[in-house]
Chains A and B, each alone.
Chain A
Amino acid sequence: MINIEIDGRKVEVENGLTVMDAAHHVGLHIPHFCYHKKLSIAASCRMCLVQVEKAPKPLPACATPVVEGMRIHTNSDYAVTAQKSVMEFLLINHPLDCPICDQGGECELQDVAMGYGGMTSRFNEAKHVVAGKPMGALISAEEMSRCIHCTRCVRFGQEIAGVMEIGMAFRGEHSAIMTFVQNTVDSELSGNMIDLCPVGALTSKPFRYKARSWELSRRRSVSPHDGLCSNLAIHTKADRVVRVLPLENEAINECWISDRDRFSYEGLNAADRLTRPMLKQGGEWVEVEWQTALEYVANALRQVKTSAGAEQIGALATGGSTLEEQYLLQKLLRGLGSDNVDFRLRQSDFSADGKQAGAPWLGMAVADLDRADRFLVVGSFLRKDHPLLAARVRQAVKKGAQFNLLHAAADDLLLKVANRAIVAPSEFGNMLAQVLAALTESKQAALSDDVKAVVARATLEGIGNDARAIAASLAGGERVAVLLGNFAQQHPQAAQLQRLAQEVAALTGAKFGFLGEAANSVGAYLANAVPGANGLNAAAMLAQPRKAYILLNVEAELDCANPQQALAALGAADLVVALSSYKHGATEYADVLLPITPFTETSGTYVNTEGRAQSFKGAVKPLGESRPAWKVLRVLGNLLEQEGFGYENSESVRDEVLAGDLAERLNNRLSGLTVSAAATSAGLQRVADVPIYSTDSIVRRANSLQKTHDAATPMVSLNGAELAKLGLKSGDAVTVSQGQGRATLIAQCDDGLPQGVARVAAGHAATAALGAMFGTITVERA
């Protein structure tokens, strides 16, 4: 600690801070543009000049470290003169177009100019003009003359997003922010550059000219798109969501959000939004009153129960449904006498059910990821599945952590990967067993009986170099994190992988956890939206068709592990009740469509992957006659004369679910499952990712996101050798078939894929006709 004096206040601050930090420490504001607490120091705007006694000239507060006895004046005549001079220079080339600038009213330059700018300009010469740049569907860079060259966007790309897509080209007065030869900005975090831009140079393309900041109401909310549950500020105008910005929460999303969180709002009021209850009568859809629809549903459910038995009723919900919705859905089902309720629609292995000590979760706080020094991530398209968790891991890796990956694709994660084992999905178990074998060799540690057999076999068959390298890396760490990604959770041997990874964690003293796929993946377990001992899980419910289904937010052909099977089961059912915000594929197989609201129009709660419950209120009124699903389920409960559906508000539902100590209910421990060798499979194995902008029904309807590179129609990727074996080359049209389903796609070469694997994305209309996300797949020339 050292003693300094700022503006006459004597303070003690940590050594190594900058003057800017120290000023923030004592609550002083120094005007600035290029400085940002999460980015490196550029000191390029010079706006934060301050007076330091005994220094011969003003110094930039953002780049000047404090030293013992320093006396700083941020507001003296000397400092203010310097600041005003800088302001005058910044305004020389800045166009006076605030009235037509989208940033007007929330512009850092405008604000600071109010305090430090002159009333008139002394500059009579021509201002420089910079041509607009194309940057893709999300960022508008049409008015680059407004740029003041702070380089925040460039530094964000380099430091947080991990990819330098934007740079400052040319020199001096010709300097201009641009992308390389008019490339688009494709980072999944790109929207943050819009927030960072202190002027109106980079603005939000979807939000352009929609509203002025002072016309907007702001509501807190929580993102429903991934397990992180980023905090959002939802901006509304005339009861419509017009923009979404991050709400700072250091423990979760820091001050960022992913583009999916930011731009998905465009899907909220999509053209196919369902606004009135509908019944299928004589093959035709007719709009009906709520009362009629709900009574129809209640009677039909009663009928199925009496004629076929309650176990013929099944309920499926998405993981992005709120805690309250999931809880009431399972309560309704269990009230009817059925135990068939599940939210794990993309999961294919359920053998951990009943053997798991609690709700599977991250196993640590999100913020702990920053501090880990070794990672083993098993089966994850980390960057696309969890954009901001990936950004945290990236920060840890920058600080020296080693990142190890076991996966079926070598996609660029934009971080330094220490060791990667890229193998076909069927080899995952074997690879983990090899890592365990290598660890036992070096650590002389005792293994649990559950895994001894496979590890012994792996030792016998030889331990590969990849496995040895991963084991060595993990063994050398002090704060190790072993994490299972979406792909590992959807894997046909998910429970075995979990057991093996748990053992790896045990041997390395690691924290072990799951990267939650959906916003409420943890919450759904707490809400008990999973089948009990007598119930059928999501896969079984569709494999053994039921007479009646209740679907909550589910688009069966896009959200299920096996769309073919799901559609067959739903098509054959006597009754399908779809609670949905959209008129989607359910019009083909459903009998009743109940219009429910997306997350912006209901109150609710998500329990994120670290087990943090976050409640939010509706930001706008429900559209048309749509209603929050928890209210719909409450009325259904009452119509079916079930006990305990007298909730007055969603908070009382939440309090019922989350009563007691939440942390005690989270536990990844899996016991009583003996790991056996995985069956080898013949032929090409499918590797299916869920593309980042195909994860849920809102995102799939967000227009601008659908125009990005990440939302391009999926292709079939094979490595070069496999392509050659099939007599194909990149760009050929191929027919992909799986079971009865087929799809025509374009083939592409990806040498990052292992042998014997074809990567075909799921969750997309182009591949919805195919079967399970894992399994054998045939590729041939179309």
Chain B
Amino acid sequence: MLSEQVQAKIEHELKKYPADQKQSAVMAALRFVQDEKGWISSDDMADVAIYLGMPKMAVYEVATFYHMYKLQPMGQHTLTVCTNLSCQLMGSNETLDYIKSKLGIGLNEVTADGKFGLREAECMGACIDAPLMTVNNRRLCARLTPEKIDRILTKLSAGGELASGEENVR
């Protein structure tokens, strides 16, 4: 069952579309579920499908198409590191290795305490500030250095959140 909060958000979203085109809200609906639960299970997809009156398989197609939907638990904070060419030239391999050794996990793994998950991604469109990573798909951290990464991890470990634009400066 979708929670009341998620249902309310979907209802709000549905107002943007014609009544017979409810499936237009599928991407938003999946995002709300992921914001609430951290990831999207196939049960959640089925619930979204029923709520929007569309085939379950169609929801599954959307959820698996987009990289930013997480189909398995990826920790409280998901770090997504860009490994495309520009970032690679600017040392993203080293960045990734540093995070791996720091957290003791590999790609698509989650730390034992469930705090951090690590993923790689394609170009984030800000190559001028490479190497890049995102935190929970929301905060873009730029010009990563070991010190910067330490700062971010310490802050997040201590229960803090990154403010908008934080660690996104030159």
**Contact status of A180 and B65, CB under 8 A, knowing A163-B55, A164-B55:** no
Q: How far is the CB of A157 from chain B (nearest CB, A)?
A: 8
Most A-side CB within 10 Å, residue of B42, B46, B57, B60: B57
Judged by a CB distance under 8 angstroms, whether A266 is at the interface is: no
Which among A170, A171, A180 is the interface contact of B57 at CB below 8 angstroms?
A: A180
Give Cα distance in the complex from A167 to B45, angstroms: 14
The answer to whether B58 and A164 have CB atoms under 8 Å apart is yes
Judged by a CB distance under 8 angstroms, whether B64 is at the interface is: yes
Q: How far is the CB of A436 from chain B (nearest CB, A)?
A: 32
Chain B residues closer than 8 Å to A540, beta-carbon distance: none
Q: 1/0 contact trace for A453-474 toward B, CB 8 Å?
A: 0000000000000000000000
Chain A residues closer than 8 Å to B55, beta-carbon distance: 158, 163-165, 167, 180
The answer to whether B42 and A168 have CB atoms under 8 Å apart is no
The main secondary structure of chain A at its interface with chain B is mixed
Chain B residues closer than 8 Å to A166, beta-carbon distance: 57
User: Nearest chain-B residue to A176 (Cβ)?
Assistant: B64
Q: How far is the CB of A151 from chain B (nearest CB, A)?
A: 11
The answer to whether A171 and B65 have CB atoms under 8 Å apart is yes
Q: 1/0 contact trace for B49-88 toward A, CB 8 Å?
A: 0000001111011001110000000000000000000000
Which among A165, A170, A181 is the interface contact of B65 at CB below 8 angstroms?
A: A170
Give Cα distance in the complex from A164 to B56, angstroms: 8
The answer to whether B64 and A171 have CB atoms under 8 Å apart is yes
The answer to whether B65 and A179 have CB atoms under 8 Å apart is no
The answer to whether A180 and B56 have CB atoms under 8 Å apart is yes
Interface size range on A against B: 10 to 19
User: Nearest chain-A residue to B45 (Cβ)?
Assistant: A180
The answer to whether B64 and A180 have CB atoms under 8 Å apart is no
Q: How far is the CB of A389 from chain B (nearest CB, A)?
A: 23
Judged by a CB distance under 8 angstroms, whether A568 is at the interface is: no
Judged by a CB distance under 8 angstroms, whether A169 is at the interface is: yes
The answer to whether A165 and B57 have CB atoms under 8 Å apart is yes
The answer to whether B58 and A167 have CB atoms under 8 Å apart is yes
User: Nearest chain-A residue to B59 (Cβ)?
Assistant: A180
**Contact status of A170 and B42, CB under 8 A, knowing A164-B55, A164-B57, A164-B58:** no
Instruction: Give the number of residues in B that approach A within 8 Å (Cβ atoms).
Output: 12
Chain B residues closer than 8 Å to A170, beta-carbon distance: 64-65
B residues 30-52 near A (Cβ < 8 Å) are: 42, 45-46
Chain A residues closer than 8 Å to B45, beta-carbon distance: 180
User: Nearest chain-A residue to B63 (Cβ)?
Assistant: A169
User: Nearest chain-B residue to A158 (Cβ)?
Assistant: B55
The answer to whether A179 and B57 have CB atoms under 8 Å apart is yes
Give Cα distance in the complex from A166 to B56, angstroms: 10
Chain A residues closer than 8 Å to B57, beta-carbon distance: 164-167, 169, 179-180
Q: How far is the CB of A225 from chain B (nearest CB, A)?
A: 28
Give Cα distance in the complex from A164 to B60, angstroms: 11
The answer to whether B42 and A169 have CB atoms under 8 Å apart is no
User: Nearest chain-B residue to A168 (Cβ)?
Assistant: B61
Give Cα distance in the complex from A170 to B67, angstroms: 9
User: Nearest chain-A residue to B42 (Cβ)?
Assistant: A181
Give Cα distance in the complex from A168 to B66, angstroms: 13
Q: 1/0 contact trace for A148-170 toward B, CB 8 Å?
A: 00000000001000011111111
User: Nearest chain-B residue to A165 (Cβ)?
Assistant: B57
Chain B residues closer than 8 Å to A167, beta-carbon distance: 55, 57-58, 60-61
Q: How far is the CB of A246 from chain B (nearest CB, A)?
A: 25
Which among A158, A163, A180 is the interface contact of B60 at CB below 8 angstroms?
A: A180
Chain B residues closer than 8 Å to A180, beta-carbon distance: 42, 45-46, 55-57, 60
User: Nearest chain-B residue to A154 (Cβ)?
Assistant: B57
Give Cα distance in the complex from A522 to B61, angstroms: 46
Give Cα distance in the complex from A163 to B58, angstroms: 11
Give Cα distance in the complex from A165 to B66, angstroms: 20
Chain B residues closer than 8 Å to A168, beta-carbon distance: 61
Most B-side CB within 10 Å, residue of A166, A169, A170, A180: A180
Q: How far is the CB of B86 from chain A (nearest CB, A)?
A: 20
Give Cα distance in the complex from A171 to B66, angstroms: 8
Q: 1/0 contact trace for A161-193 toward B, CB 8 Å?
A: 001111111110000000111000000000000
Give Cα distance in the complex from A179 to B58, angstroms: 10
Q: How far is the CB of A199 from chain B (nearest CB, A)?
A: 21
Q: How far is the CB of A272 from chain B (nearest CB, A)?
A: 39
Chain A residues closer than 8 Å to B42, beta-carbon distance: 180-181
Give Cα distance in the complex from A413 to B141, angstroms: 52
Give Cα distance in the complex from A180 to B60, angstroms: 7
Give Cα distance in the complex from A171 to B58, angstroms: 14
Q: How far is the CB of A178 from chain B (nearest CB, A)?
A: 8
User: Nearest chain-B residue to A167 (Cβ)?
Assistant: B57
Give Cα distance in the complex from A179 to B64, angstroms: 13
Q: How far is the CB of B70 from chain A (nearest CB, A)?
A: 14
Q: How far is the CB of A137 from chain B (nearest CB, A)?
A: 19
Chain B residues closer than 8 Å to A163, beta-carbon distance: 55
Q: How far is the CB of A166 from chain B (nearest CB, A)?
A: 7
User: Nearest chain-A residue to B54 (Cβ)?
Assistant: A164
Given contacts A180-B46, A181-B42, 20 further A-B contacts (CB under 8 A): A158-B55, A163-B55, A164-B55, A166-B57, A167-B55, A167-B58, A167-B60, A167-B61, A168-B61, A169-B57, A169-B60, A169-B65, A170-B64, A170-B65, A171-B65, A180-B42, A180-B45, A180-B55, A180-B60, A181-B60
Query: Which residues of A pack against B, CB within 8 Å?
Result: 158, 163-171, 179-181
**Nearest 4 pairs between A and B by C-beta?**
A164-B55, A167-B57, A169-B64, A180-B56
Question: Mind listing 23 A-B residue pairs with CB under 8 Å?
Answer: A158-B55, A164-B55, A164-B57, A165-B55, A165-B57, A166-B57, A167-B55, A167-B58, A167-B60, A168-B61, A169-B57, A169-B61, A170-B64, A170-B65, A171-B65, A171-B66, A180-B42, A180-B45, A180-B55, A180-B56, A180-B57, A180-B60, A181-B60
